[in-house]
């Protein structure tokens, strides 16, 4: 669905994105992960045909991005990083206006508003919306024409835990309807939960690309930590893959003396730091 080959792009004289290649298959949720300024939004804008001065190739849904015609947007939905609504119009007026821009029949505005819990705020001007309400409205704007490809820039940013959960469930529901989704995030937890594959991006470069599970497993060994009483509480740990070789643990198990035992794996955040030498903020 998306194929990027040797992509190079610069805002100034110095190349920012250099020689980047990756592809995204149909039905996949692919995440760009990286700190602020890494180039996540820039990459999305290139793929949306908004920054045509690139070298190399970026093909989205069969079209080279810089050569797209207006039909290109009939099958692509975008939820930008910042709200793109007319503040003086109500939510319903905004969605009606954006619906009118598509050739195809768009989805029911009332159903979309209901889906994100904004049915009672449909007549409110967007200027009176809170940040989280705007995020949800921008998300359903991207779904209006039921596009097969969705570009979501920081879809969970600024949402409270309940709305963040709702957003992630809606993204997964779109995936289950066969959509291809490309999203950006700083949030490793969200990425681990919903992305099939992620690319770690820092300074316009991809440092790693794989499923969150593979990235975690390939780099970090899971460990087991256990406690028992012996003149006060004692703690020890060993690698999960060497658990049968830990004589002390085996003895404690045989004697039923364990107070607690748990295994832990590194998080995607740990792996990001290990690979890129950077944190996500
Ligand atoms: N229109 C522009 N003109 C010049 N430089 C730009 C422009 N837009 C972005 N940049 C620069 O490109 C770099 C990457 O910006 P980008 O918006 O892609 O980052 P990002 O990864 O999306 O960050 P964030 O997580 O903060 O949204 C930054 O150094 C930024 O200053
Ligand atoms: Mg951004």
Q: What is the full DSSP assignment across 15-33?
A: -SEEEEEEEE-TT-EEEEE
Q: Could you tell me which residues are beta bridge partners of residue 197? A: 30
Query: Which CATH superfamily groups domain 2-210?
Result: P-loop containing nucleotide triphosphate hydrolases (3.40.50.300)
Per-residue confidence (pLDDT) for residue 15, from 0 to 100: 80
CB 238 within 8 A of CB 276: no
**DSSP string covering 70-119, please?**
GGGGGSEEEE-SS--S-TTSBHHHHHHHHHHT-SSPPPPHHHHHHHTT-G
Domain boundaries, the chain: 2-210, 221-264
Ligand 1 contact, 77 CB (< 6 A) = no
Q: How far is the CA of 81 from the centre of ligand 1 (A)?
A: 11
Query: Which of 194, 207, 107 is closest to 147 using CA atoms?
Result: 107
Confidence (pLDDT) at 92: 97
Pocket test for ligand 1, best of 9, 15, 17, 38 (most atoms within 8 A of CB): 38
State residue 79's pLDDT score: 94
Q: Which residue has the tokens 């460990």?
A: 223
User: Of 7, 63, 53, 1, whose CA–CA distance to 26 is shortest?
Assistant: 1
What pLDDT is attached to residue 14?
Answer: 81
Say how many residues make up the chain. 281
Residue bearing the CA closest to ligand 1, atom 2: 11
pLDDT in tens, 44-61: 999 999 999 999 999 999
Sign of CA dihedral 202, 206, 208, 210: positive
Q: Which residues of the chain have pLDDT under 50?
A: none
Instruction: Give the residue, by CA position, lying nearest to ligand 1 atom 27.
Output: 36
State if residue 41 touches ligand 1 by the CB under 6 angstroms criterion.
yes
- Conformational region of residue 27, where left means phi above 0, alpha means psi within -120 to 50, and beta covers everything else: left
User: How many whole angstroms from 250 Cα to the centroid of ligand 1?
Assistant: 54
Question: For position 265, what pLDDT does the model report?
Answer: 81
CA-CA-CA-CA dihedral for 238, 240, 243, 249, to nearest 10? 50
Which amino acid residue places its CA nearest to atom 19 of ligand 1?
37
82 Cα to the center of ligand 2, angstroms = 9
Q: Is 14 in the pocket of ligand 1 (CB under 6 A)?
A: no
- What pLDDT does 209 receive? 96
């Amino acid at each position: 669905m998306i194929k990027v080959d040797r992509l190079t792009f610069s805002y100034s004289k110095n190349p920012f994105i250099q020689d980047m290649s990756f592809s995204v298959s149909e039905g996949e949720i692919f995440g760009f992960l990286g700190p602020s300024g890494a180039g996540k939004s820039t990459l999305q804008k290139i793929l949306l045909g908004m920054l045509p001065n690139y070298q190399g190739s970026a093909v989205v849904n069969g079209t080279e991005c810089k050569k797209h015609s207006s039909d290109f947007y009939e099958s692509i939905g975008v939820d930008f990083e910042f709200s793109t609504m007319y503040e003086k119009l109500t939510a319903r007026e905004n969605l009606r206006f954006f619906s009118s821009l598509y050739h195809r029949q768009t989805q029911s505005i009332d159903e979309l508003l209901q889906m994100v819990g904004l049915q009672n705020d449909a007549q409110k001007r967007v200027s009176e919306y809170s940040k989280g309400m705007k995020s949800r409205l921008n998300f359903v704007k991207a779904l209006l024409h039921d596009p097969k490809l969705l570009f979501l820039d920081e879809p969970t940013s600024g949402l409270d835990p309940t709305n963040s959960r709702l957003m992630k469930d809606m993204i997964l529901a779109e995936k289950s309807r066969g959509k291809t989704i490309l999203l950006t995030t700083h949030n490793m937890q969200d990425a681990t939960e919903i992305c099939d594959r992620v690319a770690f991006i820092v300074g316009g470069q991809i440092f790693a690309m794989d499923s969150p599970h593979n990235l975690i497993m390939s780099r970090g060994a899971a460990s087991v930590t256990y406690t028992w009483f012996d003149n006060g509480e004692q703690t020890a740990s060993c690698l999960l893959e060497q658990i049968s070789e830990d004589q002390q643990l085996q003895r404690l198990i045989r004697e039923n003396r364990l107070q607690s035992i748990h295994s832990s794996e590194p998080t995607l955040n740990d792996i990001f730091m290990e690979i890129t030498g950077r944190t996500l903020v």
